[in-house]
Amino acid sequence: MTDLAAVKAALRTQAVETPSWAYGNSGTRFKVFAQAGVPRDPWEKLQDAAKVHEFTGVAPTVALHIPWDRVEDYAALAKYAEERGLRLGAINSNTFQDDDYRLGSICHPDAAVRRKALDHLLECVDIMDATGSGDLKLWFADGTNYPGQDDIRARQDRLAEGLAEVYERLGEGQRMLLEYKFFEPAFYATDVPDWGTAYAHCLKLGPKAQVVVDTGHHAPGTNIEFIVATLLREGRLGGFDFNSRFYADDDLMVGAADPFQLFRIMYEVVRGGGFAAEAGIAFMLDQCHNIEAKIPAIIRSVMNVQEATAKALLVDRAALADAQVAGDVLGANAVLMDAYNTDVRTLVREVRGEMGVDPEPLAAYALSGWAERIAAERVGGQQAGWGA
């Protein structure tokens, strides 16, 4: 039997990092859609993030994206976050929105372009120092579109050399999280296309380099929970970029397309000890809310992660282990499905109440008047969004 008190205690320790860019305008390849009340700068993004944390109780950190969130005084931004009950989380680099990066960034054949990209990554570490962030998150759009366009092995050599320079710059308590993506925007050969490539580079770099798994960055049918279990076993799972997808990197609300997959992933996290605070796994959303209201969508996403985690914690692991050892295929599957089919909404409401948070976050946010307030006050100026 599962100890409900222990499940509740674990849920009260949960922390889901929200991304600053999710509060800004976003859209498709063809159009970025504007919404009323969207933040115009990182300070206003933090105001919205504070509301998500206020109504969920489990979103205490905010990831920044540089240069989208560039400010004059990062220490002041960190203090502003702290005053609102937040901390600044992962610093995300951007080596894909400059004309110089058309053929890549740190894998580019031109040494001058590689130097430019590396200087940006080192700047991000400086920002980590100023904000107190412990994580540098790296995703590279580097790759090639055509056979013969560049030397595949030489690009891996450049990648290794660049990562090593950044790794050496990391300070005490800081780490590098290397993300992968199997295609887009490079359609022939992406330089970091899969978890194996990311893991190989991290293994060579050292213990401060870990792999981050974006749930949208896999080919259809990929067993993501197997990847999670393997990286946990090797001590190299640094974090998640949670979202949901139907086709490719759709960046929809986590759990929207396949809540069962989210449950399976979270079970492997729990099974592998990754849910414990000392494991250091960063659970972060990486989503773009194009047609839905942004703050409610982020709140809903946090709730989806909470519910999937609650179900994962409810798995009767002793009964599951007994069935597995006995070779009871149906019995083992039934144990897992019993947990997944449990309606945990009442349980999670109780946890929120015990934390002093409204049991119904979306309803509470709707009644708060925040959406109407920011729509009225944030008039004029340049709204934040892709590239800003």
The answer to whether residue 152 sits within a structural domain is yes
CB burial string 171-182: b at 16+ within 10 A, e below: eeebbbbbbbbb
The answer to whether residue 182 sits within a structural domain is yes
The answer to whether residue 196 sits within a structural domain is yes
The answer to whether residue 66 sits within a structural domain is yes
The domain of 316 spans 13-377
Query: Could you say which residues of the chain have pLDDT below 50?
Result: none
The answer to whether residue 5 sits within a structural domain is no
DSSP string, 293-358: -HHHHHHHHHHHHHHHHHHHHHS-HHHHHHHHHTT-HHHHHHHHHHHHTS--HHHHHHHHHHTTS-
- On whether the pTM is more than 0.75, the answer is yes
The answer to whether residue 315 sits within a structural domain is yes
29 with 297: CB under 8 angstroms?
no
57 with 352: CB under 8 angstroms?
yes
The answer to whether residue 382 sits within a structural domain is no
Contacts of 346 (CB under 8 A, 6+ apart): none
What pLDDT does 207 receive?
A: 97
pLDDT in tens, 336-371: 999 999 999 999 999 999 999 999 999 999 999 999
CB-neighbour burial class of residue 157 (10 A; exposed 0-12, middle 13-18, buried 19+)? exposed
**Could you give the strand order of the β-sheet that contains 282-285, starting from the edge strand earlier in sequence?**
18-19, 61-65, 87-92, 135-138, 175-179, 209-214, 237-242, 282-285
Task: Please count the CA atoms within 13 angstroms of the CA of 333 that sit on its side-chain side.
Answer: 3
* Domain of residue 301, CATH code: 3.20.20.150
Q: How many domains does the chain have?
A: 1
The answer to whether residue 2 sits within a structural domain is no
| Closest C-alpha to 102, from 123, 122, 124, 117 | 117
